[in-house]
Structure 1
Amino acid sequence: MLPPSPLRQLAPTIARRVRNPRTIARLASTPQCFAPVTESPSVRTQRWHSNHNDSRPPSSSSVNPDEISHFNALAATWWDPHGSSRALHLMNPLRHDFIQTCRSSSPTSSFTVLTEDSGDELPSSSPDAPTYSTTANVQKLRYLDIGCGGGIFAESAARLPTTESVLAIDPSPGVLAIARSHAKKDPSLSPKLTYLSSTIESLPTLKPEAVEKKFDVVSCFEVIEHVDHPALFLDHVAKFVKPGGWLVMSTIARTWTSWFTTNFMAEDVLGIVPKGTHDWNKYINEYELRGYFEETEEKRRFWGQPRAMGVVYVPGLGWKEVPGSEKVGNYFLGVQRLASEDA
């Protein structure tokens, strides 16, 4: 791992390899971009990303129109396992593993034990679903998948025998059309899987009957780094998690290492992620995200202790859990709702 000063010296060389050298120059000249991550209490609750202190009042939606336009442009390749969404396809099994780990960690809530060796395996038509089967203490789960995109996770969750229903929402009409079209290829999904064109802020007004009950699992995978006001976004999300249920997320820490791997290498050099997918300034460090759930006494009564899992992409092997890597790059974070009263 290079220290900050050598990386700044590499900036002119790096700039020649990217389409926007001004971005590199700005990063290289800004000390905080490459400074070690600290967990100062004053920073923990006051900083999310570079836009956190934006003086503009937040709109009624956390969605950024530029983000919608970008993902609409990628809609056609969403279900190509070797295309622009390859990283999401490869990460999907870890999403299920993380949810299972979170739910099984709570001794006070019922959960489903999944094993690899027992009888009824998941349908072979689901390449992304984990190859597990149910064995004990079965509880049918209701999922809300926020920012579902083309439906990679939503479809795999709907195929689980322990799933009662999946409500998947996304504000991008192009990718949602792809999600609906792909789901029609498997008629068995229709009783369980519902797609809605919606933001989390407008969800209750669009289809109240779909959200009259709260959800056992609310997922926001690779979403929060694309919203403009993450704290307000999470305030809305919290309303849909039932007591005893889990909010699970995945995102990226804002460090120079993550900039180098996700923005420079993945987008500019290797091209395995479409250009413009990631805005480094909107990445959220694990301690910042954790701090949201711990910043007030009210939130500490409402939420349990957050748990994180760092993951690293290994070429040829896919995504692997690497303890401690949540401090520098991609990570999952899950937190259980404890309180019965509304936030």
Structure 2
Amino acid sequence: MSSLSLSRFTPTACRLAARSSRRAAPILYRHPNSSPSFRHHTTHSTPTSANSSVDPNEVSHFNALASSWWDPHGPSRLLHLMNPLRHDFISRCRASTASSSPPIRYLDIGCGGGIFAESAARLPTTASVTAIDPTPEVLRVAEAHKRRDPALMAPNKLTYLNKSIEELPVPSSPAEGYDVVSVFEVLEHVSAPGPFLERVMQQVRPGGWLVLSTIARTWTSWMVTNVVAEDVLGIVPKGTHEWSKYVNEGELKEWFGRQKGWGGGVGEMRVMGVVYVPGLGWKEVPGGEGWGNYFFGVRRDEV
């Protein structure tokens, strides 16, 4: 899911962004009875329940975009173009450590219409892909598109579930977790990233990777995503993102660094800054994680 919000680059918009910046920092907090975690973002919406990371406003927004999900020139065009870099980043993560050999079991969280899930299911190294999303209309589109390809209809090859991460059963043992758990363009849509990631981490097997993509919370990212991409170029739908929900790469590294059993060795936390270049697509930009879109991967330590 990729796009953004706010109105025009005016003094009023700048004041709104400044207030968002003040609300968004600091991103971390320490609960009296818990380990350090991401704070709950201040938003204007309310999750569906106290135990859910799903924001009903986000569900409504992406339901409205469901019919155009597989239009390569439509609102989801940037996601189609991002797929090659997603696979490249996962390959780099797995190659950097002594991960087990294929076949690979994927869990794709917040899969939307299945742009990444379908492409992962077609790889010769893939054993299975389970893809979940809380947005029913979008999943109906994903399921219909899957049925166009008989290869994807093999048992357990690609399974879509209309569930949030809180509704997905936790593996009965760590070894039954997934080799790769992907969370692409999702973190900036949840109100409490710490509790959300804690749920996600339970699905990764020892030696497996959690990989995600999101956006740094900087003035540059606000200008690029909220002003240029939405208002000037019109390449993303309005209202898709809330700038105050963006998460900085340093915050992720600090948070995961405190999670026992995660990213404990050299090369077991990886990052790739990326930028969209009109006419050329998504390109890797060293250092881009400090101001814009980026990929982040962290490996669960071996038992």
Cα displacement (A) at 1:33: 8.9
* CA contact 1:49–1:284 (8 Å) conserved in 2: no
* Distance verdict in 2 for CA 1:14–1:334, change over 3 Å: same
Q: Distance in 2 between matches of 1:296 and 1:79?
A: 37
Cα displacement (A) at 1:66: 0.4
Q: Distance in 2 between matches of 1:175 and 1:96?
A: 22
Q: Distance in 2 between matches of 1:334 and 1:270?
A: 30
Q: Distance in 2 between matches of 1:183 and 1:337?
A: 31
Q: Distance in 1 between matches of 2:199 and 2:29?
A: 25
Cα displacement (A) at 1:39: 12
* CA contact 2:28–2:38 (8 Å) conserved in 1: no
Q: Deviations over 1:221-274 (max 9, x none)?
A: 000110111100111111110011100000000000000010111112211000
Match of residue 162, structure 2, among 190, 197, 201: 197
Larger RCO (CA under 8 A, 6+ residues apart): 2
**Matching residue's letter, 2:61:** H
Q: What secondary structure, in the 3-state scheme, does the structure 1 residue paired with 2:86 have?
A: helix
* Distance verdict in 2 for CA 1:232–1:50, change over 3 Å: closer
Q: Distance in 1 between matches of 2:265 and 2:133?
A: 26
List alignment gaps of at least 5 residues for structure 1.
Answer: 1-11, 112-138
Q: Distance in 2 between matches of 1:101 and 1:305?
A: 11
**Mapping of 1:95-244 within 5 angstroms?**
95-106=86-97, 108-111=98-101, 139-191=102-154, 192-204=157-169, 213-244=176-207
Tell me the C-alpha RMSD between the 2 structures.
3.4
Alignment match, 1:293: 256
Q: Distance in 2 between matches of 1:302 and 1:160?
A: 28
Alignment match, 1:92: 83
Q: Distance in 2 between matches of 1:200 and 1:67?
A: 15
Q: Distance in 2 between matches of 1:236 and 1:321?
A: 29
Alignment match, 2:14: 24
**Matching residue's letter, 1:15:** T
Alignment match, 1:129: none
List alignment gaps of at least 5 residues for structure 2.
Answer: 1-6, 31-35
Q: Distance in 1 between matches of 2:123 and 2:8?
A: 48
Q: Deviations over 1:289-342 (max 9, x none)?
A: 1112112556566997421000011111100001000000000000111143xx
Alignment match, 1:321: 284
Alignment match, 2:4: none
Q: What secondary structure, in the 3-state scheme, does the structure 2 residue paired with 1:166 have?
A: strand
Match of residue 82, structure 1, among 73, 90, 96: 73
Of 211-220 and 152-161, the range deviating more from structure 2: 211-220
* Distance verdict in 2 for CA 1:49–1:251, change over 3 Å: farther
Q: Distance in 1 between matches of 2:215 and 2:92?
A: 20
Match of residue 246, structure 2, among 264, 268, 283: 283
Of 303-312 and 322-331, the range deviating more from structure 2: 303-312
Alignment match, 2:10: 15
* Distance verdict in 2 for CA 1:13–1:170, change over 3 Å: closer
Alignment match, 1:131: none
**Mapping of 1:24-63 within 5 angstroms?**
24-28=14-18, 50-51=41-42, 59-63=50-54
* Distance verdict in 2 for CA 1:30–1:156, change over 3 Å: closer
| Equivalent residue pairs, number | 289
* CA contact 1:306–1:333 (8 Å) conserved in 2: yes
Asked if 1:72 is matched to 2:72, the reply is: no
Q: What secondary structure, in the 3-state scheme, does the structure 2 residue paired with 1:278 have?
A: coil
- Output the TM-score relative to the length of structure 2: 0.85
**Matching residue's letter, 1:155:** E
* Distance verdict in 2 for CA 1:339–1:69, change over 3 Å: same
Cα displacement (A) at 1:212: 9.1
* CA contact 1:63–1:199 (8 Å) conserved in 2: yes
* CA contact 1:79–1:85 (8 Å) conserved in 2: yes
Asked if 1:266 is matched to 2:252, the reply is: no
* CA contact 1:301–1:338 (8 Å) conserved in 2: yes
Q: What secondary structure, in the 3-state scheme, does the structure 1 residue paired with 2:191 have?
A: coil
* Sequence identity percentage: 58
- Output the TM-score relative to the length of structure 1: 0.76
**Matching residue's letter, 1:203:** L
Q: Distance in 1 between matches of 2:85 and 2:161?
A: 25
Of 64-73 and 295-304, the range deviating more from structure 2: 295-304
